[in-house]
Amino acid sequence: MTPSRTAGAVLAQDIPAPHIEYGQIAPILVVFGVAVLGVLVEAFAGRRLRYPIQVPLAFAGLIAAFVWTVWMGVGDEPHLVAAEGALGVDGPTLFLQGTILILATVSLLLISERSRSHFTPQASALPGTEAEQRSATSGNTQTEIFPLMMFAVTGMIMFPAANDLLTMFIALEIMSLPLYLLCGLARRRRLLSQEAAVKYFLLGAFSSAFFLYGAALLYGYAGSVRLGVIAAELGTDAGSETLLLGGVALLTVGLLFKLGAVPFHMWKPDVYQGAPTPVTALMASCTLVAAFGGMLRIYYVALENLRWDWRPALWGVAILTMIVGAVVAITQTDIKRMLAYSSIAHGGFLLTGVVAASTDGLSGSLFYLAAYGFTTVGAFAVVTMVQDDAGEAAHLSRWAGLGRRSPLVAGVFAFFLLAFAGIPLTSGFTGKFAVFKAAIDAGATPLVIVGVLASAVAAFFYVRVIVVMFFSEPEADGPRVVAAPATAAAVALGVAATVVLGVLPQPVLDMAGHAASSMFVR
């Protein structure tokens, strides 16, 4: 044996084998494993067998991962860094992962519904006789959507658990790349959907570059991408302040894009409008939870000692986001674009919880994310139910008189809109109260005043939709309501969660507070 080989063998013996806590990261592995199995099903199963295999497989994966997450949450207090320090498993991680998994399960009810044609080409675009066209389009849903969704959910539950910036970037890409493809799958609105996918991809690539460049600058400052090491280095003057502030700024730009915060919000209305509505529901709920989870981990773990520098910047972003989201939404005539600007405004409300930089701010943000996610999925589920001959009746004028045609559906949508507005006894009121109270306790009272005024402005366009539905004359060729079973189940779950979190919020508030108190720095 040569000396070089001997030295290599000795060196290899000195390197310990990596220790992976598989039990702590099991939810991520389960969802990822189901995504890989879904790809194999697409490759080897026949076309007519794919749907009956993919749907139960996806539901089983999400439910199994959720049950495992709940089991870890009710067991011993998790305070671990897993996978050689790449992932952090603590209270906020489990709360956010559980929220994402249950919201993804509800969104899967919409995505798996076969009675709609979001993912099926129009018969007129297919070759053959009329009978052949009907046969080709009867239930042949694009089944590749299921593994793509599972890959995206894998990134979503990995993103808020990331304990270093490199792992966070990888999770960001695992989450984003499938979403770019999912946005382009609306066959009835092919050009608009593909345009939305391209816009999302191009702007998402820019935001990822900002995030990665910011991570590189922070590595230059701290000599590590580990959040705990960065936090420890902030207490010393060892690194360059220019690298530190530049890295934080670029990192923030990348995160704010994923949130759709002003001035990085222009992709959101176009993508929400062009993407298939079930995919929009998944993005509006789960992606927002994951993005805010990542932001909370960075600011509350790595940059807590720098809060006097980043809080003023987030003040400005939160104020702009609330005002622009509320004001521009008034001018919208498309339901999905209006909900997109509503989502932008709610991102500003959530930023007030981040600005609080306290345990109450963290717990309030966790509760707000869960409450808003259920209401959002329910609202988009209602949008998929209102249809005419061209597909979904997204224009506001088509909703005129819906309260007379289908009072139950119109009443449910009005309830969701009132929850968005923050009316008492709904989850929206409790969520806003939680983050606003935390911000006031942290000395951000002017920010809360802006938030209350923005909520009042936002209430105007919510009430406008209610007036159109109940106090306008219905059109003769008005849309019909298609209440498919899976969609109705998603709406029912959204209503139940919105009511329970508004009337009896204390158990979930206590759960969020307990989770917030167990965030750690490693």
CA-closest candidate to residue 451, choices 350, 311, 304: 350
Looking at 22-26, 163-167, 254-258, 281-285, which range is the least confident one?
22-26
Whether the CB-CB separation of 271 and 207 falls below 8 Å is answered with no
Q: What percent of the chain has pLDDT over 70?
A: 88
Q: Any idea which residue has 């239930």 for tokens?
A: 139
CA-closest candidate to residue 431, choices 378, 493, 369, 497: 369
**For residues 365 and 354, what is the distance between their CA atoms, to the nearest angstrom?**
7
| pLDDT on residue 358 | 85
Residue 424: cis peptide before it, omega within 30 degrees of 0: no
| pLDDT on residue 1 | 47
**For residues 303 and 165, what is the distance between their CA atoms, to the nearest angstrom?**
12
| pLDDT on residue 473 | 79
CA-closest candidate to residue 364, choices 376, 351, 375: 351
- Tens digits of residue pLDDT in 114-150: 655 455 554 334 344 433 333 333 334 688 899 999 9
**pTM higher than 0.75 for the full model?**
yes
Averaged pLDDT for residues 221-229? 87
Greater confidence (350 vs 389) lies with: 350
Confidence of residue 47 (pLDDT cuts 50, 70, 90): confident
Whether the CB-CB separation of 290 and 155 falls below 8 Å is answered with yes
Whether the CB-CB separation of 104 and 62 falls below 8 Å is answered with yes
- Tens digits of residue pLDDT in 337-378: 999 999 999 999 999 988 988 888 899 999 999 999 999 999
Phi then psi dihedrals of residue 481, to 5 deg: -105, 120
Most confident of 77-91, 314-328, 478-492: 314-328
Phi then psi dihedrals of residue 387, to 5 deg: -135, 155
Q: Any idea which residue has 């990542």 for tokens?
A: 294
CA-closest candidate to residue 104, choices 288, 286, 280, 289: 286
Q: Any idea which residue has 């044996």 for tokens?
A: 1
Averaged pLDDT for residues 424-432? 91
Helix, strand or coil, per DSSP, at residue 80: strand
DSSP-derived pairing of the beta strands 386-388 and 87-89: unpaired
The CA–CA distances, whole Å, from 278 to 388, 479, 486 equal 17, 19, 12
**For residues 117 and 161, what is the distance between their CA atoms, to the nearest angstrom?**
36
| Nearest-10 Cα torsion for 54, 60, 65, 66 | 120
List b or e across 334-354, with b for residues whose CB sees 16 or more CB atoms inside 10 angstroms. Answer: ebbbbbbbbbbbbbbbbbbbb
CA-closest candidate to residue 498, choices 437, 402, 388, 412: 412
**For residues 324 and 465, what is the distance between their CA atoms, to the nearest angstrom?**
19
**Which residues 6+ apart lie within 8 Å of 57 measured at CB?**
34, 37, 38, 41, 146
| pLDDT on residue 266 | 86
Averaged pLDDT for residues 474-503? 87
